[in-house]
Amino acid sequence: MKGNAGLLIEASLEIGALKLNVEKPFLWASGYYMPVYNDNRLFLEQKKYRQMIAESFIKIIKKNNIKVNVIAGTSTAGIPHATTLADKMDLPLTYVRNKPKAHGLKNRIEGLPEDKGYNGRKVLLIEDLISTGGSSIEAVNAIREAGGDIEFCLSIFSYGLKEADNNFTSLTPACAAESIISYDRLITEAEQNGYIHKNETESLKEWRKHPFQWGETHGHAQ
């Protein structure tokens, strides 16, 4: 029987939350053509997917014996999944903006008490997606600046890029990152279920090694 990760991979391919196409790659916001595209917002439509994601996060928390007092979601895609998880674990919820508000109290982190700090509480960050990890690292730093003790960032999906690993391990102290769906398992199950052919699998594995050169190498100009 498939676990939640396997079921989520099947669902993500079926509803288009994860797309793979080496012939007609996707233009990322960075300006690079990539053969994979992720839109976890499509999971929001059905309660069963939201619940499955939260349950998968709880399994990772138990497996790694993660101590957590507060859940934090990244704005905006991490917020709904952080909310479901916080409700299941009966924990406080906060969320981290990508930059402070320009008006009002100019908060960077919402949901904190009046003193605006975590006061040493153990915080778990929830992301929907990790690519190079840049936005996640900014959120981790913001939490630490607000007095949060954060050692883990969990996401639904990760591309498994070396840049992300380097970014998380270079933090002082380092922050561990773990995802429900790994890129390697996505590729394996996509081939097994007929979404891609073996030659496409090889190209997708090649992309992971040299993601920012892949498009030009395969004739897709930046």
Asked if residue 101 has pLDDT above 90, the reply is: no
Residue 214 · residue 206 · CB < 8 Å: yes
Average pLDDT over residues 19-25: 96
Picking from 180, 222, 187, the residue whose alpha carbon sits closest to that of residue 203 is 187
Q: Is residue 222 part of a domain?
A: no
Average pLDDT over residues 2-25: 93
How many structural domains compose the chain?
A: 1
Q: Is residue 72 part of a domain?
A: yes
Kindly report, residue by residue over 140-199, the tens digit of the pLDDT.
999 999 999 999 999 999 999 999 999 999 999 999 999 999 999 999 999 999 999 999
Q: Is residue 116 part of a domain?
A: yes
Q: Is residue 46 part of a domain?
A: yes
Average pLDDT over residues 41-47: 96
Q: Is residue 196 part of a domain?
A: yes
Read off the DSSP letter of residue 31. Answer: S
Q: Residue 179's pLDDT is what?
A: 97
Q: Is residue 119 part of a domain?
A: yes
Q: Residue 114's pLDDT is what?
A: 80
Calculate helix-pair angle for 134-145, 162-169, nearest 10 degrees.
Answer: 10
pLDDT band at 107; cut points 50, 70, 90: confident
Distance, CA of 147 to CA of 93 (rounded, Å): 15
pTM of the model: 0.94
What CATH number did the domain enclosing 213 receive? 3.40.50.2020
What are the residues whose beta carbons fall under 8 Å from the beta carbon of 109, sequence distance 6 or more? 72, 94, 95, 96, 97, 116, 142, 143, 146
Domain residue limits at 90:
4-217
Q: Residue 11's pLDDT is what?
A: 95
> Residue 142 is encoded by which pair of tokens?
């913001």
Q: Residue 6's pLDDT is what?
A: 92
Kindly report, residue by residue over 53-94, the tens digit of the pLDDT.
999 999 999 999 999 999 999 999 999 999 999 999 999 999
